Amino acid sequence: MRPLTFRKLFFQCFILAVILFFVVILALKFGAVPVSLYALGRDLLRVLLGQSSQISSDYGLIIQNIRFPRIILAVIVGASLSVAGTSFQALLRNPLADPYVLGVSYGAAVAAVLGLVAEPHLALPPALAALFTPLCAFIGAAATITAVYFLGRRQGQIESNTLLLGGVITGYFLSAIIVFLLSTVNSSNTRGMVFWLMGNLSTSFQKSVYWFLAAGFLLATGVIYASANDLNILLSGEKEAMHLGVDVRRVRFVVYVAASLLTGLAVSVSGAIGYVGLIVPHIIRLIFGSDHRTLLPTSALGGAIAMVIADTLARIVVAPNELPVGAVTAVVGAPLFIYLLRRRLA
Amino acid sequence: MNPGRSSAAPRTPPESTRLGTETRLAVEQVSYAYSANPSQAPLFTLEATSFQARPGEIVAILGPNASGKSTLMQLIAGVLSPLSGRILLNGFAIHSLSPRTRAQRIAMVQQESRLLFRPRVWEFVMQGRHAHGRSLRFESHTDMQIVQDALMHVGAADLSDRLMDQISGGEKQRVILARALAQQPLLLLLDEPTLHLDIAAQVGLLDALRRLSARYRYSVIVVTHELNLAAEYADQILLMQSGRCLRVGPPASIYQRELLEQVFQIPLRVEMRGHGRPRVTILTDS
Amino acid sequence: MRIGRGPATVIGSNSRKPGHPPLAQRPAPFARKGEAGSPRVSRGAFFVSGGISRRNRGGFLKKFLPSRLHPAAFAVLAVLTCAAAPAYAQSATHSSPEPPAFREVADELGRTIRIPQQVRRIVSLSPSSTETIYALGLQDRLVGDTDYCDYPADAQKKTKVGGATNPSLEVIASLHPDLVLVTKLNRLETTQSLAELGIPSYATDPHTVADILSSIKTLADVLGAPEAGASVVEDMQRRLDDLQRRLRDLPPKRALFVVWAQPLISTGQHTFLADALRRAGAVSIVNSSQDWPQVNLEEVARLQPDFLVFAESQPGNASREVQKLGTLPGWKIVHAVRDHRYAVISDAVNRPAPRIVSAIEELARQLHPEAFAEKAGDTKKETEKENPPARPLAFAPFSWNPPHSPHGHSSSTGGCLCGR
């Protein structure tokens, strides 16, 4: 009987944060453009000292403007997907739930494809035009999640199985629409559209986008974390949770909205990257247990670590070309998931 | 608290009950109707039911399947709101309490849902402390003490570090009871707690229940099919049939052969024993 | 050269000598199947109709079907009965004598296909084949093309068989083509299904601009229009030679062909596109054996291309795209984006057809304007006479800032052939 203490939680998170730090350093080092650890350390020091103007070399610019933002994107997307996966698994009481099981990514993809088709006709200012597709994707994700929420409601209450099935069917429906869209729009445009179904972190964004993503992630994760204990109890069953003093309806709604926000943000900047939101929470559970007060922050860090590693692989395996990171996570994730499943059964 | 009290049948109100109210739970003319669809005729109706329970009292609800026992439990637990009438706990209408406040006063023991990720026994019992204190917090020393005590009371102190899926059905039932005790409730509701338990475990559980209710003055409402166990342990029996409450009273007044035969549709024999605890024998054709 | 123009006059004209091919009309969709000139296999596919006289059959079906439904209905029939084709074909191999009106040709995938001596009905399954057919003056033999065949405008009026990847076999069969032209755009399954229906398909697969020329030439021979082919190819070759002469002494510009910006997809070195860039006096900075590689932006920032090249289907897209990219930190450090150094050409460059030469010329003019300073007017006139470009050359969005590339490949220092 050793209760969770703040010190223990902090220690666990600290270990993962240190791992994440080293993974990020390695990710900064490896890439299409070679860079020495020394030069990297020197430039990092300069950035920390606020002298980033002294980084004049082309390599420095590449690291600063391309590689580093991309790693930050991987961190945020990985953490978001993991936290969303953890939340959906608790919320739907289904260990197979992941951020995409509710058809979110397909909703985002449909809207993104429509956005790509419409954007040339809209004469938007350049800065907005660059954001237009991600914005569309986010709206698509939000609309899908809202629709699935109402599909999953019965007599004013969310029913896990109905919601899950509703999400899966919505996903099939939307993927059919994507196939329809891809086969009707001009064929030369489809290559970029398929991106929304493969997952990709190579997109470059304005700086404000990263701040916005980080803020959205912290807000949504904070909201979910405030219900960490409620989620623990929800895992034992809804009826029980009700009798144990959990306001099941409110917790479900709040966590659903927050997890959806995380998913929407991730999808809108990276397309659909599978398996991270499914597998990372399971691995973290094996290591740190299933208490959501630990699970949520450690999953976030674990997801960030996994995503940075996956994206680094995507960058360097066929350098100077790239793989879609969704392919990397699927190739690594699917066998890993089967292993975890067998282990659970044994 | 009155730990020195040992009587199993508290006929006299303890002096610590404030405001001169002897009644802890008052169910007053409560009815309920269930329909799949608001515009349709109700599929099931619970007709006006009234009874009262005092601190330390064990009330057993008896009746065949679909007689409305569970509906009544849900109403008392505050999960359902009554169509008419009211249910008062220490003078407050139960269904108007917040889920949190309700959980501080009412604990429910029912058939457990399948566990998704297995917690440890003590973690499971700790869930009973959820309603006390802030929602997001770390367990305090007091919480740990209460959990340990609760496990001790049900005789499961040695299980505390086991995983929930590594213990037997009987042990599990005791752990669930321990979680309810950790809620420190005024009212303990048990929905068929002895289901799936062997005879020894059933008796053990109910003995523990009687001891605890006497000691901590929980009012206990228990839904059961075990006529003899109910007769042995309950202070009051509520007999139900097809959504109607037929009779409320001490076991001796309820256990009449004609009445029970009519309710349960089976020939039986009732044997009245000296201390007011009748015994029922089912008569089969052979 | 125009062949078989205008509506056919006689339905049963199958005995006419080659060179005067009639176009079979709707009332007798199966009529030509019995003739000597059609492939054996397809006769097998339609063997159910064998017992019924042609005229009766048409009338018989007309009673029950609205006339608009005919082609589709027959196509269904064809698909349903095609399973019986191989058996019939085998038995026929030994019994019937080889009709003289057949010949065997090899296509560019190395497959040997049997086609009628005179190819009268062609279905094109790619925009480039359609353009080639029009350039050869064989448009009257083109009985069907895809939804994407938008050039020349007349091609849009042809019967559409669907997209390149998912054409309707039923519509194709109902058009009774002698030959279907396929490219890499199409799926292998489509050609296999066509083969099962007894419809021969001819594949073109050029990997260089020279391949495109020889491919057009060979196709013209296969289609029985060698003179037209020679003339088209000769013209292309002449213009390419002219271009080569003008660009001979100019160092090539280092270019990035942008197929898609986010994520960045470019073109590989073994594609005719990369070769087209070379012909236009540019060299792609991407060295990938994949045809459509996803390229790391870091690599682009390291190699700093002199120019970005966009092929656009709608005017103005590319300039908007560059402005858009200019707002992104990752792209801002690519000098070509920062300095708005980009070239926009018609998306004809994506199509291995005669028009690609115009696109190459367009690109060359934008990358090496100094080479065209003198004789620009002449060349343009010639171009328009023979092979009008899709629209006026896209110089407008082109803002020139002297490139200051750190890698010494600065284009402004390059020599100029024609003096200033």
Asked if C315 and C382 sit in the same domain, the reply is yes
- CA distances, C192 to each of C182, C187, C188 (Å): 12, 9, 6
Confidence bin at A303 (pLDDT 50/70/90): very high
Q: Mean pLDDT score of chain A, rounded to an integer?
A: 86
DSSP H helix total and E strand total for chain A: 15, 2
From CA B101, how far away is CA A54, in angstroms rounded? 61
Q: Is the pTM of this model over 0.80?
A: no
- β-pairing verdict for B58-62 and B219-223: parallel
Q: Answer yes or no: is pLDDT of C259 > 80.
A: yes
Put simply, whether B40 touches A (Cβ < 8 Å) is no
Question: Which chain A residues contact residue B179 at CB under 8 A?
Answer: 244
Q: Lowest mean pLDDT: which of A109-113, B91-95, C125-129, C386-390? A: C386-390
- pLDDT score, position C400: 37
CA–CA distance, C205 with C209 (Å, rounded to integer): 11
Contact B130, A244 (CB under 8 A): yes
Q: Over chain C, what HEC string results? A: CCCCCCCCCCCCHHHCCCCCCCCCCCCCCCHHHHCCCCCHHHHHHCHHHHHCCHHHHHHHHHHHCCHHHHHHHHHHHHHHHHHHHHHHHHHHHHHCCCCCCEEEEECCCCCEEEEECCCCCEEECCHHHHHHHHHCCCHHHEEEECCCCCCCHHHHHCEECECCCCECHHHHHHCCCCEEEECCCCCHHHHHHHHHCCCCEEECCCCCHHHHHHHHHHHHHHCCCHHHHHHHHHHHHHHHHHHHHHHCCCCCEEEEEECECCCCECCCCCCHHHHHHHHCCEEECCCCCCCCCEECHHHHHHHCCCEEEEEECCCCHHHHHHHHHHCCHHHHCCHHHHCCCEEEEEHHHHCCCCCHHHHHHHHHHHHCHHHHCCCHHHHHHHHHHHCCCCCCCCCCCCCCCCCCCCCCCCHHHCCCCCCC
Q: Do C301 and A126 touch (CB under 8 A)?
A: no
Residue A120: which of C290, C320, C323 has the nearest Cβ?
Answer: C320
Bigger pLDDT: A305 vs A55? A305
- Residue A345: predicted pLDDT: 54
A145: Cβ contacts below 8 Å, ≥ 6 apart: A102, A104, A107, A256, A260, A263, A264
Residue matched to tokens 């002897």: B22
- Is the pLDDT at B184 greater than 70? The verdict is yes
Q: C125 and C73 in one domain?
A: no
C330 with A321: Cβ contact below 8 A: no
Same domain, C288 and C334: yes
What is the mean pLDDT of the segment spanning B89-102? 88
- Greatest mean pLDDT range, C232-241, C258-267, C409-418: C232-241
What average pLDDT score do residues C134-163 get? Answer: 88
Mean pLDDT of C46-60: 38
Q: What is the ipTM of this complex?
A: 0.82
Helix H or strand E encompassing A183? helix A160-184
Q: Is residue C95 part of a domain?
A: no
The CATH number covering residue C130 comes to 3.40.50.1980
A54 three-class SS: helix
Q: Which residues of chain A lie closer than 8 angstroms to B110, CB-CB?
A: 239-240, 243
The pLDDT-based confidence of C230 (bands split at 50, 70, 90) is very high
For position A214, what pLDDT does the model report?
A: 95
d(CA B278, CA B266): 17
A232–B contact, CB cutoff 8 A: yes
Residues C63, C122: one domain?
no
When pLDDT is averaged across residues A253-263 and rounded to a whole number, the result is 91
Q: Do B130 and A6 touch (CB under 8 A)?
A: no
How far the first Cα of chain A sits from its last, in Å, is 26
Q: In this model, does residue C66 exceed pLDDT 60?
A: no
Please state the rounded mean pLDDT for residues B175-182.
Answer: 91
> Whole-number mean pLDDT of chain C?
71
Nearest chain A residue to C167 by CA: give it.
Answer: A183
Q: Is C193 in the same domain as C279?
A: no
- DSSP assigned state of B113: P
Strand, helix or coil for residue B78: coil
Provide, rounded to the nearest whole percent, the portion of chain C with pLDDT above 70. Answer: 65
> How confident is the model at residue A210, as a pLDDT?
92
Strand ranges (E), chain A: 153-154, 157-158
Cα pseudo-dihedral B147, B149, B154, B158, rounded to 10: 80
Classify residue C336: in a domain, yes or no.
yes
The domain made up of A77-345 has a fold known as ABC transporter involved in vitamin B12 uptake, BtuC (1.10.3470)
Cα gap A230→A58, rounded to integer Å = 51
Of the candidate ranges A106-110, B127-131, C175-179, the one whose mean pLDDT is the lowest: A106-110
The model's confidence at residue A312, banded by pLDDT at 50, 70 and 90, is very high
Residues C288 and C397 both lie in one domain: yes
Q: What is the mean pLDDT of residues A192-209?
A: 81
Q: Residue A219: its pLDDT value, please?
A: 96
Q: What is the residue-averaged pLDDT of chain B?
A: 83
pLDDT at residue number A183: 74
First to last CA, chain C: 43
Closest by Cα among A97, A330, A263 to B117: A97
pLDDT at A107 over 60: yes
> Using CB atoms, which chains have 3+ pairs under 8 A with A?
B, C
Residue entry with tokens 């099935």 = A165
Q: Which of C397, C348, C362, C282 is nearest to C135 (CA)?
A: C348
- β-strand partners of B189: B108, B221
Please check whether residue A97 touches B, CB under 8 A: no
Which pLDDT score, from 0 to 100, does residue C326 have? 86
pLDDT band for position A35 (cuts 50, 70, 90): confident
**Once rounded to an integer, what is the mean pLDDT over residues B127-150?**
89
Q: Is chain A touching chain C, with at least 3 CB–CB pairs below 8 Å?
A: yes
Q: Which of C86, C113, C143 is the last residue of a domain?
A: C86
pLDDT of residue A194: 73
**What local confidence, expressed as pLDDT, does residue C99 receive?**
53
pLDDT band at A121 (very low <50, low <70, confident <90, very high): confident
pLDDT-based confidence at residue C52 (cuts at 50, 70, 90): very low
Residues C262 and C380 placed together within one structural domain of the fold: yes
Residue A156 contacts B where some CB pair is shorter than 8 Å: no
Q: Where are the domains positioned within chain A?
A: 77-345
- Average pLDDT over every residue of C84-103: 51
Question: Which residues are within 8 A (CB) of A154 and not within 5 positions of it... i.e. 6 or more apart?
Answer: A162
Task: Answer yes or no: do C200 and C277 share one domain.
Answer: no
Look at C233 and A183; give whichever has higher pLDDT.
C233
Lowest mean pLDDT among A297-306, B145-154, C38-47: C38-47
* Beta strands C159-160 and C342-346, pairing class: unpaired
Is C35 among the domain residues? no
Query: Quick check: B102 and B108 in contact, CB under 8 A?
Result: no
Look at residue B4 in the predicted model and tell me its pLDDT: 39
Chain B residues near residue A1 by CB distance under 8 angstroms: 122, 144, 147-148, 160-161
pLDDT of residue B238: 92
CA A218 to chain centre: 13
Please give the pLDDT value at position A344: 66
Q: Which residue has the tokens 């009268």?
A: C120
> Rounded to whole angstroms, what are the CA distances from C420 to B202, B244, C404, C411?
107, 108, 21, 15
Chain centroid, CA A142 distance in Å? 15
| Residues 6 or more apart in contact with residue B225 via CB below 8 angstroms | B62, B192
Do residues A275 and A337 make contact, with C-beta atoms less than 8 angstroms apart?
A: yes
pLDDT beyond 70 at B2? no
Q: Does some domain include residue C8?
A: yes
pLDDT surpassing 70 at residue A27 = yes
Predicted local confidence at residue A188, as pLDDT: 56
Chain C nearest-CA distance from A62, in A, is 6
> How many domains, chain C?
3
Structural domain range at position C359: 249-419
Q: Which of A89, A90, A28, A95 is nearest to A64 (CA)?
A: A28
Contacts of A127 (CB under 8 A, 6+ apart): A206, C327
pLDDT at B105: 92
Mean pLDDT of C66-94: 43
List Cα–Cα distances, B17 to B13, B57, B94, C354, in angstroms.
7, 14, 19, 101
Strand pairing category for C307-312 and C253-258:
parallel
- Do residues A67 and A44 make contact, with C-beta atoms less than 8 angstroms apart? no
Indicate whether C73 and C106 sit together in one domain. no
pLDDT value at A209 more than 70: yes
The H or E element containing residue B61 is: strand B58-62
Compute the residue count for chain A. 346
Residue A337 distance to chain C (closest CA, Å): 28
A323 touches chain C (CB under 8 A): yes
Chains with 3 or more CB pairs under 8 A to chain C: A
Model confidence pLDDT, tens digit, residues C263-290: 888 888 888 899 999 999 999 998 888 8
Chain C and chain B touch, per 3+ beta carbon pairs within 8 A: no
Binned at pLDDT 50, 70 and 90, residue C25 comes out as very low
- A126-177 pLDDT per residue, tens: 778 878 888 888 899 889 988 988 888 776 667 778 888 888 899 999 989 9
Contacts of C417 by beta carbon, 8 Å cutoff, 6+ apart: C246, C247, C248, C249, C250, C370, C371
Half-sphere exposure of residue C292: CA atoms within 13 angstroms, side-chain side: 12
Asked if A6 reaches chain B (Cβ–Cβ under 8 Å), the answer is yes
* CA neighbor of C281 nearest in space, from C260, C309, C261: C309
Distance from CA of B236 to the nearest CA of A (A): 24
* Residue numbers in A near B43 (CB within 8 A): none
Last residue of a domain, one of C205, C220, C241: C205
**Looking at residues A113-120, what average pLDDT do you find?**
81
